[in-house]
Structure 1
Amino acid sequence: MLSTRRAARRRAATAGSLIAGALAAGLVAPAQTASATGAGEGSAVRIHDIQGTTRVSPLAGTQVHDVPGVVTAVRSFGSSRGFWFQDPHPDADRATSEAVFVFTGTTTPAVAVGDAVLVSATVTEYYPGGAAAGLQSVTELTKATWTVQSSGNALPAPVRLRPSSVPARYAPDAKGGSIEKLPLRPDRYALDFYESLEGMRVQVDDATVVGPTNEHHELWVTADPRHDRTPRGGTLYTSYRDPNPARVKVASLVPFAQHPFPVANVGDRLTGTTAGPLDYDNYGGYTLQATELGTLADRGLKRETTRRQKSDELAVATYNVENLSPKAPQAKFDRLAAALVTNLASPDVVALEEVQDNNGTTDDGTVDASVTLKKLTDAIAAAGGPAYQWRQIDPVNDQDGGQPGGNIRTAFLFNPARVSFKDIPGGDATTPVTVRREGGKATLSASPGRVAPGDAAWKTSRKPLAGQFSFRGRDVFVVANHFNSKGGDQGLDSRFQPPARPSETQRVQQARLVNTFVKQLLAADKHANVIVAGDLNDYQFSPALAALTDGGVLTDQVNTLPVCERYGYVYQGNSQVLDHILTSRALKRVDYDIVHINAEFADQASDHDPQVLRWKP
């Protein structure tokens, strides 16, 4: 450790001497409000001098002249056009990148791959999403001019991403502070490793897809497909300590008319070589901007179908239907219906999340969702399913979060041929449901009713919906939930490490309220049959789930599955848990299944996989 620090001081001292000489020679010109703190060897500044040994360029804010390199890629579309160029004569320091992006705005640069260029520009640190977003910066050259010295030059060999090259540790621990001024340690931390390659050509061979192609023509691969592998080929997110460092996003610099972007599912492979400069953005961090894309090998991923419940089993499901409103195409309703009837085998009760009002995001005061729910239940009937009925409570306009004007809420569907709903009047958007004891049993003051809707924990968030059902003579209390989202949290690749998760505070508060409500049910009847289900927007190992299960009153059924199967959502290449079904102690003979039909596929009816619990009283 001491030797590393001394070496860093020596490099800083040398850099200071060099920049002084470069300034005197006129090779580097300071900007009006910046000072130069580092430079390269010889008669000109090199790219590795610009990039430096930390995340922020030692030359940020200065003008550099005649920086040499070879053009490795051109971005010729969009509002962030420009080109990457790389020094074919690297230094011996692994911490310094040998490439940088030249930003030309909306103008396509007049260069070609293989051009040897001399670039004069201002060194800039660009923060995707703005500095307040908490992400890392990208070192760029702006206001650039250049001369082409020759064309058709060979490109520097790409750095291969392999299991052995990506460090297992993800990021240095700065106790929540910024890591951008820490010396890069690419042999120790994955984020440092990627930063040391910023802008450089990288390559991944026979890449396994761990995040399906999205609407922006992006997908996620891993350079270490054996690490935390799921049975269906994904990468499992098991703890905050291990965010699966080998994940990298892949986009394409090749016009789609020349090479359509592959439509890939989790578990597919890009065979051969996928290569290009390593970029960074605010939609997933480090991104391989492919100039060469591997060939898609379809691994034939199939959508799962759960078994049908037996006549003496109650089946309860949860399904986030992702901003469902009458404005959605009929095809979406049909696909959701087919999934409920076929893949979920027509559950007796379904807790729905993200049901929007009758005109979707039109913000005109409409809160009724009867058209949305009728359109869904009609589609289910047309698909051969039950004649589902529904119960729900309209929210106060614009008070439950989600898409503005959409008034999303939770709702129940139920099959009256199999289960009955105990309608108890009194439930509305603002009246809290309470627990009563009648005849030695627990009952609700209102069914459906909302749990503590006036509590500050539910500000701009969906309120839980409690319903009292009866199956084969037994009361069953189901609480449908949709906790607040992770919006506002710092990303895994944030420059602040470990990243802050401020949204977690509200989810913990929400979890405590639901936990308290369950305890009230159990206080009225310790044998009460309680099922808590929904999109909790948090992991099975999170503080929110710890608060929800506090006191052992609920069992998170996710934890009863084999570890490799604990996921139902895929985000940035991480297969993870956001949705849950939890049960009280009285529900002993249960069978639980996460039904993988959406999250791993490029073609989705929703971004969440549904879940189903079967209980035999």
Structure 2
Amino acid sequence: MSPLARRTSVTVTVTAIAAGLLVGPSSAFAAPAADAARIHDIQGSTRISPLAGKQVTDVPGTVTAVRSFGSSRGFWIQDPRPDDDQATSEAIFVFTGSTTPSVAVGDAVLVSGTVSEYYPGGASAGLQSLTEISKASWTVRSQSGDLPAAFRLNPSTVPDRYAPDGSLEGRTLRPRSYALDRYESLEGMRVSVADAPVVGATNTYKELWVTAEPRHKRTARGGALYDTYRDPNAGRLKVASLLPYAEHPFPVADVGDKLTGTTAGPLDYDNFGGYTIAAGALGTLDDRGLTRERTRKQKSGELSVATYNVENLSPKTAQSKFDRLASGLVDNLASPDIVALEEVQDDNGATNDGVVSAEATLKKLTEAIAAAGGPSYAWRQINPADDQDGGEPGGNIRVAFLYNPKRVSFTDIPGGDATTPVKVVQDGGEAALSASPGRIEPGDEVWKDSRKPLVGQFAFRGRPVFVVANHFNSKGGDRGLDARVQPPARSSETQRTGQAAAVNTFVKSLLAADPKAAVVVAGDLNDYQFSPALSALTKGGVLTDLVTRLPRGERYGYVYNGNSQVLDHILTSRALRGPDYDIVHINAEFADQSSDHDPQVVRLRP
């Protein structure tokens, strides 16, 4: 599917106010006569057209770009005679569906059709709308005219403040005050960025992310750091191409690269990245040579514990991915003693037939590691109940432990299964587990349709070490950063916070039995170091989130829509002093990935 295809569409042509989310004409602004409308009259000074649902006739404009492929074909027109109101866009998209429009860039046209508001992803997704003309007809008056100058997006034209609080629809746009208002006021218009840093690598849809604010909160390796809800990095923009890929290959860029020269085109908007430059002119890729990191090897007296989300791994996964994951663990992570794995699927992957065993998956991975020169890892895990742990349907993803038996031993204690909760017991005056491996409160409602934490009791140089592998529930259902109600709702956060509290309670029970217990909590927690979930997990000071010990520009291991952020964590108990912690950047910043997460490792002296 084309990256510019409409994966889901809802077109709204009503003009009634609905629950504060859909706003049409009101007494606050008078709609002009539809048969005399220019583009700025259609766009209006809010996000919803004052002419939504109405027919317009002979709207003048110059064709600035054509989308001639995918299921969302059409063209943009821009009025060469703008008004003096910065809040009103002077351009609009003319939607022709799957039909290639018979116009060319530079044509002066008169367009007639129905004004509509299109919500990418559907109205229920909570995103903003695009004002369009649909069911259109047009007349070409002249050809090969000059294009309007592109509006330059840079630190002086993009406000640092992202958006006002509350519903954005119905508000008069303030493009000098808020970034989302600035972009909305430019909807469909030609915009440009110059010498734009790449902050999100090229994806499989031939899209990348740049920033129009080159000096704003950059990471140590050139990304855009997301470290507070208050600042989503307003300068981020997706770049997609309108040029034929065969003649104009899309740049394969990593974070830290640059698109030199000018990248320009209409400002589009979709539900897979938000505001997008639909580029008819692409800057030249300046490859800055980003390299994959390698961490140091643990010393003989150090225990190394890693976490790695291997992204829906099953025996059906290509051998090349197994080999790359193995190389990453051996060469880049220096063969950790213990690895907490996330997204290990069952032995036939997404086939939904009741199979829950992951022995074949783990065997294939450990064989690849040995072939790459790594240790002969053993593993421990617990099969989940079928289709009860979320993830890809039929995949039965779970967390699992790999460990190097030449460096560390696993304390096997029978009794762990999918539904029996592990408990803390006393053994000779020390903390121990009722079952190892065991699952934390698998019947608790907080783990519904989510992976259950796996606890293992290890021994390193005679000292017990407790490791908790986690994969908290995803952010599915949360509103996007550019949602039409600000700040965006984070509905999934409630369950993660409950999960974090459950793990915190379990760690407290270990420390109650032995205040000097060596505890490592690791995994994909699907949340940020500044989130309520991490506050719940560290409550009472029982655990330290090690990402907070890194220099600020290194606090990330995942890149989403151009934001470098934290989802994976390693936390340690007080007894583990002086941990040496490293997020090893080998995936998230690169167009070529073996997983979408960077692994991380800590070296400890229990």
Over the matched positions of the two proteins, sequence identity in percent amounts to 75
| 90, 97, 101: which one aligns with 2:89 | 97
Aligned-partner Cα distance in 1 for 2:27–2:358: 67
| 3-state SS of paired residue (2:322) | helix
Map of 1:352 onto structure 2: 341
Residue 153 of structure 1 pairs with residue 145 of structure 2: yes
- TM-score scaled by length of structure 1: 0.94
1:455 positional shift: 0.3
| 3-state SS of paired residue (2:325) | helix
Map of 1:556 onto structure 2: 545
Map of 1:263 onto structure 2: 252
Deviations 1:532-579 (A, max 9, x none): 000000000000000000000000000000111100000000000000
Map of 1:32 onto structure 2: none
| 45, 63, 72: which one aligns with 1:53 | 45
Aligned-partner Cα distance in 1 for 2:87–2:223: 31
Aligned-partner Cα distance in 2 for 1:435–1:264: 49
The change in CA–CA distance for 1:149 and 1:15 in structure 2 (over 3 A counts) is: farther
1:401 positional shift: 0.4
Map of 1:34 onto structure 2: none
| 262, 282, 291: which one aligns with 2:280 | 291
Q: How many residues align?
A: 582
**Aligned residue type for 1:53:** S
| 3-state SS of paired residue (1:549) | helix
The change in CA–CA distance for 1:319 and 1:437 in structure 2 (over 3 A counts) is: same
Aligned-partner Cα distance in 2 for 1:12–1:318: 55
Aligned-partner Cα distance in 1 for 2:573–2:274: 40
Residue 169 of structure 1 pairs with residue 161 of structure 2: yes
Aligned-partner Cα distance in 2 for 1:328–1:290: 34
Aligned-partner Cα distance in 1 for 2:42–2:315: 54
**Aligned residue type for 1:597:** I
Q: Which runs of 5+ in 2 are unaligned?
A: 1-24
Residue 466 of structure 1 pairs with residue 458 of structure 2: no
Aligned-partner Cα distance in 2 for 1:163–1:344: 38
Aligned-partner Cα distance in 2 for 1:238–1:427: 38
Aligned-partner Cα distance in 1 for 2:538–2:54: 55
Map of 1:8 onto structure 2: none
The change in CA–CA distance for 1:529 and 1:147 in structure 2 (over 3 A counts) is: same
Map of 1:137 onto structure 2: 129
- TM-score scaled by length of structure 2: 0.95
Aligned-partner Cα distance in 1 for 2:326–2:348: 20
1:179 positional shift: 1.1
| 3-state SS of paired residue (1:460) | coil
| 3-state SS of paired residue (2:379) | strand
Aligned-partner Cα distance in 1 for 2:502–2:482: 32
**Aligned residue type for 2:367:** D
Aligned-partner Cα distance in 1 for 2:463–2:325: 30
Map of 1:33 onto structure 2: none
1:589 positional shift: 2.4
Aligned-partner Cα distance in 1 for 2:579–2:174: 49
Deviations 1:368-418 (A, max 9, x none): 000000000000000000000000000000000000000000000000000
Aligned-partner Cα distance in 2 for 1:407–1:501: 25
Residue 444 of structure 1 pairs with residue 436 of structure 2: no
Residue 196 of structure 1 pairs with residue 185 of structure 2: yes
Map of 1:36 onto structure 2: none
Deviations 1:298-342 (A, max 9, x none): 000000000000000000000000000011100000000000001
Residue 106 of structure 1 pairs with residue 98 of structure 2: yes
1:437 positional shift: 1.1
**Runs of 4 or more off by more than 6 Å in structure 1?**
11-14
Q: Which runs of 5+ in 1 are unaligned?
A: 1-10, 28-43
Taking the TM superposition and a 5 Å limit, the aligned residue runs for 1:499-578 are 499-578=488-567
Map of 2:5 onto structure 1: none
| 332, 340, 346: which one aligns with 2:329 | 340
Deviations 1:62-111 (A, max 9, x none): 00000000000000000000000000110000000000000000000000
Map of 1:248 onto structure 2: 237
| 3-state SS of paired residue (1:165) | coil
Residue 326 of structure 1 pairs with residue 326 of structure 2: no
Map of 2:601 onto structure 1: 612
**Aligned residue type for 2:498:** Q
Aligned-partner Cα distance in 2 for 1:192–1:13: 21
Map of 2:20 onto structure 1: none
Map of 2:394 onto structure 1: 405
| 3-state SS of paired residue (1:127) | strand
Aligned-partner Cα distance in 1 for 2:215–2:332: 29
Aligned-partner Cα distance in 2 for 1:445–1:226: 53
